[in-house]
Amino acid sequence: MELKDRTTVVTGAANGIGAALARRFHAAGARVVVADRDAANLRAIADELNAVRPGSAHAVIADVSTEAGNAHLIGEARRAFGFIDLFFANAGVAVGTDLASTDEAMWSTAMDINLHAHRWAAKHLMEDWLDAGEGYFCSTASAAGLLAQIGSATYSVSKHGAVAFAEWLAITYGDRGIRVTCLCPQGVNTNMLNPPGTVQGADKRGGDVVKASGAVLEPAQVADAVHDTIVAERFLVMPHPEVHTYEKRKVDDRDRWLAGMRRLQARVIGG
C-alpha cells in the first residue's frame, strides 16, 4: 500500500521507533495521528510534522494499556482525519525479569501494552475495515517474539503473543482485504535499549544480551524497512538479517538452539 494521502495512526510515537515511523509515513505523504502517553515529546513530533505540511498531523495523548484507551484513540483519530487506513500498534515496554522479581502488576503491564493493546485496537478497527473491504494493521513485536528474550519472561511471552496475534489476524482476515505487517527487530538505538539515567541492573543486562546478539540499528533505518514492507504488503519486517539465521537454527534443532541460548546467557549475564 502506498502511503500518500492515507491516514495512519502510530502508537508510542513520542520516542524511538514510533517517532521514526511517524516521520517516515509523513515523508511518504500520509496524514499521521501520533499517540503516546508522553505528552511533551508527542506534541513536539506533531508540531514538527505540521511545520512541514500544515494540518497533516494530529497528536492524541493516549494510554493504550486499556481497551478504553485504545477506543478513545481510535475515536479521536477518526474525528481528526476520518477513515483510518493504517494503524500501527508500536507502543511497548520492557518490564519484568525473572519469576521471583516480577510481580503480578509487572506481568499485567507487559501483557496489556505489548499484547492486549494490539487486540483491543484491532477489535475497535475491524468493523469499519471489514465494511470497507480494506484496512492495514501493523504491530511492533520483536526478535524476542520469534526467538526469546534472555532475562525477561514477561518480554519473551508478551512479544511471542504479539507475533501470534498478528499471524492470526493475517490468516483470519487476509482474504477479506485486511493486510497485516509485523515488525520484529533486534537491537534498535532507543531509550528502551539505552535508557537515560539509572536503571535496575537486570534491565540493563537484558539490553546487553541484545547488543551482544547483533548490530544495533537506528530507528530511521527500521522505519525505512517498515515503509518498504508496507508498500510491498508483506507480513514480516526483519531489519536484522541474522535473526533469520537464528530462527532457522531454532526450527531445525530446538535442543541445540536452547543450549546455544544458555551459552549466550552465561557469557553475557552469568549462569
Ligand X SMILES: NC(=O)c1ccc[n+]([C@@H]2O[C@H](COP(=O)([O-])OP(=O)(O)OC[C@H]3O[C@@H](n4cnc5c(N)ncnc54)[C@H](O)[C@@H]3O)[C@@H](O)[C@H]2O)c1
Q: Which residues bind ligand X (CB under 6 A)?
A: 11-12, 14-18, 36-38, 62-65, 90-93, 113, 140, 142, 185, 187-188, 190-193, 210
Distant-in-sequence, close-in-space partners of 134: CB < 8 Å, separation ≥ 6:
85, 177, 178, 179
Give me the least distance between CB of 193 and ligand X, in Å please. 4
- Which helix (H) or strand (E) covers residue 31, if one does? strand 31-36
Position 165, amino acid: F
Give me the least distance between CB of 143 and ligand X, in Å please. 6
Give me the least distance between CB of 130 and ligand X, in Å please. 26
Smaller CB separation from ligand X, 141 or 178: 141
Q: Would you list the DSSP string of 178-207?
A: EEEEEE--S-BSSTTTS-SS---HHHHHHH
| C-alpha distances in Å from residue 91, one per residue of 147, 177, 216, 244 | 20, 25, 19, 24
Give me the least distance between CB of 182 and ligand X, in Å please. 11
Smaller CB separation from ligand X, 3 or 62: 62
Give me the least distance between CB of 252 and ligand X, in Å please. 24
CB 5 within 8 A of CB 28: no
Smaller CB separation from ligand X, 21 or 30: 21
Buried b (16+ CB within 10 A) or exposed e, 57-71: bbbbbbbbbebebbe
Smaller CB separation from ligand X, 111 or 130: 111
Smaller CB separation from ligand X, 36 or 85: 36
Smaller CB separation from ligand X, 7 or 114: 114
Distant-in-sequence, close-in-space partners of 120: CB < 8 Å, separation ≥ 6:
64, 66, 67, 69, 70, 71
The alpha-helical segments, DSSP class H, found in the chain are 16-27, 39-52, 67-81, 104-111, 117-132, 153-173, 201-212, 219-232, 242-252, 254-268
Rounded to whole angstroms, the Cα distance separating 112 from 19 reads 21
Give me the least distance between CB of 176 and ligand X, in Å please. 27
Give me the least distance between CB of 255 and ligand X, in Å please. 26
Specify the DSSP class assigned to residue 217.
B
Smaller CB separation from ligand X, 104 or 131: 104
